[in-house]
Amino acid sequence: MPITRGFTGNRRRERPDRLPPGQYDTGSSWPTLTAEATPSGSLEQWTERWRLRVDGLVESPQEWSWAGVHALPRSSYAGDIHCVTTWSKFGMTFTGVSVDTLLEAARPQPEARFVLAHSTTGYTTNLPLEDVTGGRAWVAWEVDGEPLPRGHGGPVRLIVPHLYFWKSAKWITRLELLARDQPGFWEQNGYHDRGDPWLEQRYQGDP
């Protein structure tokens, strides 16, 4: 029996392995989600003042300037992102530095098990240390080969793409290593402490 061609399944059917449960493909659009006021100031002013610190339970606290992070080995993520508000965006490329590189310099103490990411705005989000190591997290300043736009966290943001995107703090300035998990902004407001989209860990109390 001949197979009838011309039937076009939807993307979810074509790529059942790509979209986490309860998510839809946002296509070419990239929504902006910001709880606080977007930081102002020219790129020049911003990057002159900006520092990236890695401190807390580390052997050697670190601080990099804008030029300093750019002197570190570059690393990219190419893949998908997933927001808890149910959009996923496929095939993005973010470039910056791997969090592994930052932690190699700072050397976490044995008691360090969690990270609290801080933004210049006061936004925070908490992550288990193992979710920002092993090539799974970046401090990024480029998206698809262009400077990261201010609304999307530019000049520089955290990218932790295997977790819901609220973990990817925009305008990152500090990674604080902690012995105990300390809920960040959305986590204090009912969102999950880990936020794995494949396990649908949206809210506190989800598995």
Ligand X SMILES: Nc1nc2c(c(=O)[nH]1)N[C@H]1C(S)=C(S)[C@@H](COP(=O)(O)O)O[C@H]1N2
Instruction: For residue 171, state whether it binds ligand X (rule: CB under 6 A).
Output: yes
Instruction: For residue 168, state whether it binds ligand X (rule: CB under 6 A).
Output: yes
**How many residues form the binding site for ligand X (CB under 6 A)?**
19
Neighbours of 205 (CB within 10 A): 8
How many DSSP H helices and E strands does the chain contain? 5, 11
Interactions with ligand X, residue window 106-145 (CB under 6 A):
119, 121, 123
Cα distances (Å, whole numbers) of residue 77 to 2, 91, 140: 42, 10, 9
Q: Which is nearer to ligand X, 108 or 171 (CB)?
A: 171
Q: Which is nearer to Mo ion, 33 or 78 (CB)?
A: 33
Residue from 15, 22, 24, 33 touching ligand X (CB under 6 A): that is: 33
Residue from 12, 24, 35, 189 touching ligand X (CB under 6 A): that is: 35
H/E stretch holding 104 reads helix 99-106
Instruction: For residue 77, state whether it binds ligand X (rule: CB under 6 A).
Output: no
Three-class SS of residue 101? helix
Task: Give min distance, CB of 89 to Mo ion, in A.
Answer: 12
Which residue is listed with tokens 């990218």?
159
Interactions with ligand X, residue window 1-20 (CB under 6 A):
none
30 CB-contact burial (10 Å; exposed 0-12 / middle 13-18 / buried 19+): middle
Task: Give min distance, CB of 31 to Mo ion, in A.
Answer: 8
Look at the alpha carbons of 151, 156, 158, 161 in this order and tell me if their dihedral is positive or negative.
positive
What is the distance between the alpha carbons of residues 59 and 33, in angstroms, rounded to a whole number? 35
Q: Which is nearer to ligand X, 57 or 137 (CB)?
A: 137
Residue 43, contacted partner among ligand X, Mo ion, none, CB below 5-8 A by kind: none
Task: Give min distance, CB of 164 to Mo ion, in A.
Answer: 6
Kindly report the backbone phi and psi dihedral angles of residue 48, in degrees, each rounded to the nearest multiple of 5, phi listed first: -70, -40
Cα distances (Å, whole numbers) of residue 113 to 22, 32, 61, 177, 207: 30, 31, 16, 7, 20
Interface ranges with Mo ion (CB under 5 A): 33, 83-84, 166
Task: Give min distance, CB of 94 to ligand X, in A.
Answer: 10
Question: By the criterion CB under 6 A, which residues form the site for ligand X?
Answer: 30-36, 83, 119, 121, 123, 152-153, 165-166, 168-171
